[in-house]
Amino acid sequence: MPLSKEQLFSWLKNVGEQYSTGVVIIDPSEACLPIVYYNAAFTNLCGYTEQQLIGKSLSVLNGIKTDSEIETELNYHLQQAISNQFTILQYACDGTAYWNFMTLHPFRDAGDTVQFIFLTCEDVTELMLNKMLSKLEREVYIELDRDDELETILNVITDQIEKHYIRDAYCAIHLVQPDGSIKAVATGSLPHSIVEQLQTVEMELLADCSGTAIDLKEFIVAEDVLNDWRCEGFHDSELNSHIVTCWAKPILNQQQKVLGSFTLYFNEKTELKRTDIDFLNRLIPLISLSVKYAEQKQQLSRLAYYDVGTNIPNQHYFNNELSKWIVEGHEGLIILIQPGEYSNIVELYGRKAGDELLSQIVERLNQHSGNHEEFIARFTNSAIIVASKYKLTELDTYDFRVRQLTIIPYFINGKELYITLKLGIGFFSADLSAEDCIRQADIALTKSRATSGTKVVFFEEESDAKLQQEMDILNQLSYGLQHNEFTIYLQPKINFETSEIEGFEALSRWNSHVLGAVSPAIFISAAEQSGKIREIDTLVIKKVLSWQQQRLIKGLKIVPIAVNISPDHFYYESFINDFLALLSKYNVPTQYIKLEVTESIELVDFSKAKDILSTLKSAGINSSIDDFGVGFSSLSYLPQLPFSEIKIDRSFVNAMDDPGMHAVVQTIVQLASNLHMCAVAEGIETLEQFMMLKAMGCHTGQGFYFYKPMPLEEATTLLDLKL
């Protein structure tokens, strides 16, 4: 006997009472599909008391974030009484959202007319949030894999949360910047007009985190931002119309340092529930991971594109950027800049001082960049490279800029240092590859290094052949040193009063089995650049000492011999000790050897030069300042440096016909006399020059007019003859 509708209803109600999950019965005979029964478990789920929902349609449970498509589907199934399952977002009596998993069971009578629809309901909020989180995690990993920017990744997070989170909220992620300020990195759908103001609020909230009152693992909740003391920045009407409550959670790294904040903003008063806390607590590690990943990525790119010592972009970076400019059709200059004293500074004060010098040069370059677009990188340990959209017609201003770089001393290791700069300039344009453009500037730099003082050299085609020659020299230097290809020549220094040989200058000679005779003017600078100069100087010293030792032993006439010492060697930490050790090894008294040091040395470090010269002097060793007048030394330093001799450079002696130059030489001779130093004129080639110098009061000189540099055997004969 089939059940009547009432009997069926009472039977279904009875079944509903037994259910531990929610049950709702709907009467489909009425168009509005009213709820005719729901059990206690459903009351627990939605918060409506027993009678509140009776007679109402199920759609009263829907709300702002309920998916309207699911809603339509559900209604259709209810109307048609088709059994099916739906997961739909509904809202409880207090406005909180929950996910309801519903199964529809239609009950029909014998005539197949639907009597009731029996709905079982299950709260699957946690499951859905977990699902959403897994989906979000997957998306974030995909973005991370794709190597996307941190901003993109964090924006995916905020967007997804706003879309899928059960609550209607704005979502934002703020990150602490290196300068301590806070930046909104991802802001979801927050109106642009209030994003900036929110940063102040975040600052307040995060400042609150650093106090002890709040456990960093907890949320910072401002339930009523208008009246919350932490949200002072919130008194803006536009802001308040959007935001009433906010929940912020600090993003921490493993050391518990605050990296930023994750915040949900609501436009109504709302309470933080357990499910929210659980969900959001799982979300934070995902954000931290993204931030950490982005930091690592940044670090990697810094390592790949920045020089660690100076934080200046590296060559890699430069090549990339230059290639881009070339492809875009830009033209301009490539400038390589190298401080002439870089290696001395590194030897004296260490690598950090070298880094510091380059950083200071870059700083000065940036101060004087004018309106020119450019970028700067570290080219090698000792050189900086600049690509600049300077035009050829503007080179005058570039010259001015270079001068600005050297006018004021650099402050390194607590000392003021004047430096010289070597500049090699090439051009970039679409005609050449980035690599070739750089190579040309490099060739020009090599040329500029071979001259003294601050020097700008432009690339010229013919430099190629010279470069090849320099390469050959570098290749052959080591071989020559190991295979006795170096000898010394001596050039007499003549006393103008007595015409006696007062001493000699030792000059190294290299007869390479491959290159033939190579001029010191070429191989000395190559040896200085390749670090071989100490070997050459030491070899010369040994040969000189050995010659002197033989003469002493044989009781022959003996005069002091001067050896040339390159600045690199002069500043080498063990120079003095090594030198004195050699003197005692060969048993040659100190008055029989002198040192000649080129003029620019005192520019590197005045006080260090002073120390070395004083120590040498107290050991009885006299020193000369060589090539005086050529470099950039300040005359005011000279009185304080214990040189015994000033060697007037050949170029001055050569040009004495000119009245101006005559006066310069005269001044140098007088200066030497005032300082109780001996003035020695170099490169005297004619009788006139000799007479002029003598008339000026110069007492000593050397040059082809008297003698050319000669091999040791010849010097032996010469000195023996004079006896």
CB 59 within 8 A of CB 126: no
Question: In whole angstroms, how close is the CB of 683 to ligand C2E at the nearest point?
Answer: 4
- Please say which residue, 302 or 542, places its beta carbon nearer to ligand C2E: 542
Restricting to residues 561-580, name those near Mg ion by CB under 5 A. 564
CB 31 within 8 A of CB 59: no
Binding site partner of 521, from Mg ion, ligand C2E, none, Cβ cut-off 5-8 A by kind: ligand C2E
- Please say which residue, 355 or 682, places its beta carbon nearer to ligand C2E: 682
Give me 159's structure tokens: 């967007």
- Please say which residue, 47 or 520, places its beta carbon nearer to ligand C2E: 520
Strand 332-339 to 421-428 pairing:
antiparallel
- Please say which residue, 210 or 651, places its beta carbon nearer to Mg ion: 651
- Please say which residue, 401 or 493, places its beta carbon nearer to Mg ion: 493
Alpha-carbon distances, residue 583 vs 138, 544, 573, 618 (angstroms): 77, 10, 18, 15
Question: In whole angstroms, how close is the CB of 520 to ligand C2E at the nearest point?
Answer: 4
Question: In whole angstroms, how close is the CB of 513 to ligand C2E at the nearest point?
Answer: 20
Determine if 537 is a binding residue for Mg ion (CB under 5 A). no
Determine if 627 is a binding residue for Mg ion (CB under 5 A). yes
Question: In whole angstroms, how close is the CB of 486 to ligand C2E at the nearest point?
Answer: 9
Question: In whole angstroms, how close is the CB of 563 to ligand C2E at the nearest point?
Answer: 6
CB 384 within 8 A of CB 312: yes
CB 418 within 8 A of CB 632: yes
Number of chain positions touching Mg ion (CB under 5 A): 5
- Residue of 307, 442, 626, 645 that binds Mg ion (CB under 5 A): 626
- Please say which residue, 75 or 686, places its beta carbon nearer to ligand C2E: 686
Question: In whole angstroms, how close is the CB of 571 to ligand C2E at the nearest point?
Answer: 13
Of 313, 249, 317, 236, the closest CA to residue 281 belongs to: 249
- Please say which residue, 521 or 553, places its beta carbon nearer to Mg ion: 521
Binding site partner of 704, from ligand C2E, Mg ion, none, Cβ cut-off 5-8 A by kind: ligand C2E
DSSP codes, 313-377? B-HHHHHHHHHHHHHTT--EEEEEEEETTHHHHHHHH-HHHHHHHHHHHHHHHHHT-TT--EEEE
Binding site partner of 507, from ligand C2E, Mg ion, none, Cβ cut-off 5-8 A by kind: ligand C2E
- Please say which residue, 565 or 601, places its beta carbon nearer to ligand C2E: 565
Question: In whole angstroms, how close is the CB of 646 to ligand C2E at the nearest point?
Answer: 12
Binding site partner of 132, from Mg ion, ligand C2E, none, Cβ cut-off 5-8 A by kind: none
Determine if 645 is a binding residue for Mg ion (CB under 5 A). no
Strand 561-565 to 593-598 pairing:
parallel
- Please say which residue, 237 or 519, places its beta carbon nearer to ligand C2E: 519
- Helix 533-554 and helix 712-722, axial crossing angle in degrees, nearest 10: 40
- Helix 434-449 and helix 463-482, axial crossing angle in degrees, nearest 10: 60
- Please say which residue, 540 or 561, places its beta carbon nearer to ligand C2E: 540
Instruction: Using the structure block, give the residue that is written with the tokens 């400038």.
Output: 335
Question: In whole angstroms, how close is the CB of 420 to Mg ion at the nearest point?
Answer: 18
User: What 8-state DSSP symbol labels residue 214?
Assistant: S
User: What 8-state DSSP symbol labels residue 57?
Assistant: B
**Which element (helix H / strand E) includes 301?**
helix 274-305
- Please say which residue, 52 or 487, places its beta carbon nearer to ligand C2E: 487
Binding site partner of 246, from Mg ion, ligand C2E, none, Cβ cut-off 5-8 A by kind: none
Geometric angle at alpha carbon 253, from 248 and 259, rounded to 5°: 50
- Please say which residue, 386 or 561, places its beta carbon nearer to ligand C2E: 561
Question: In whole angstroms, how close is the CB of 690 to ligand C2E at the nearest point?
Answer: 11
Restricting to residues 389-448, name those near Mg ion by CB under 5 A. none
Geometric angle at alpha carbon 29, from 26 and 31, rounded to 5°: 90
Question: In whole angstroms, how close is the CB of 596 to ligand C2E at the nearest point?
Answer: 6
DSSP codes, 240-293? HHH-SEEEEEEEE-TT--EEEEEEEEESS-----HHHHHHHHHHHHHHHHHHHH
Binding site partner of 537, from ligand C2E, Mg ion, none, Cβ cut-off 5-8 A by kind: ligand C2E
Restricting to residues 662-701, name those near Mg ion by CB under 5 A. 682
Nearest-CB residue for ligand C2E: 703
Binding site partner of 482, from Mg ion, ligand C2E, none, Cβ cut-off 5-8 A by kind: none
Strand 700-701 to 421-428 pairing:
unpaired
| Amino acid type, 41 | A
Sort 627 into a burial class: Cβ within 10 Å, 0-12 / 13-18 / 19+: buried
- Please say which residue, 263 or 491, places its beta carbon nearer to ligand C2E: 491
- Please say which residue, 286 or 710, places its beta carbon nearer to ligand C2E: 710
Question: In whole angstroms, how close is the CB of 614 to ligand C2E at the nearest point?
Answer: 21
Give me 87's structure tokens: 């997961």
- Please say which residue, 411 or 704, places its beta carbon nearer to ligand C2E: 704
DSSP codes, 509-520? EEEETTTEEE-H
Instruction: Using the structure block, give the residue that is written with the tokens 């290196």.
Output: 178
Question: In whole angstroms, how close is the CB of 654 to ligand C2E at the nearest point?
Answer: 8
Sort 173 into a burial class: Cβ within 10 Å, 0-12 / 13-18 / 19+: buried
The count of other CB atoms within 10 Å of the CB of residue 657 is 10
User: Which bin fits 628, alpha (ψ -120 to 50), beta or left (φ > 0)?
Assistant: beta
| Amino acid type, 317 | Y
Question: In whole angstroms, how close is the CB of 561 to ligand C2E at the nearest point?
Answer: 12
Of 210, 217, 142, 152, the closest CA to residue 180 belongs to: 210
- Print burial letters for 556-590: b (CB count within 10 Å at least 16), e (below 16): eebbbbbbbbbbbbbbbeebbeebeebbeebebeb
Question: In whole angstroms, how close is the CB of 565 to Mg ion at the nearest point?
Answer: 9
Question: In whole angstroms, how close is the CB of 362 to ligand C2E at the nearest point?
Answer: 31
Nearest-CB residue for Mg ion: 596
Residues that bind ligand C2E (CB under 6 A): 491, 507-508, 519-521, 524, 533, 536-537, 540, 564-566, 596, 626-627, 650, 682-685, 702-704, 709
- Residue of 528, 596, 602, 645 that binds Mg ion (CB under 5 A): 596
* Residues at the site binding Mg ion, with contacts judged by CB under 5 A: 564, 596, 626-627, 682
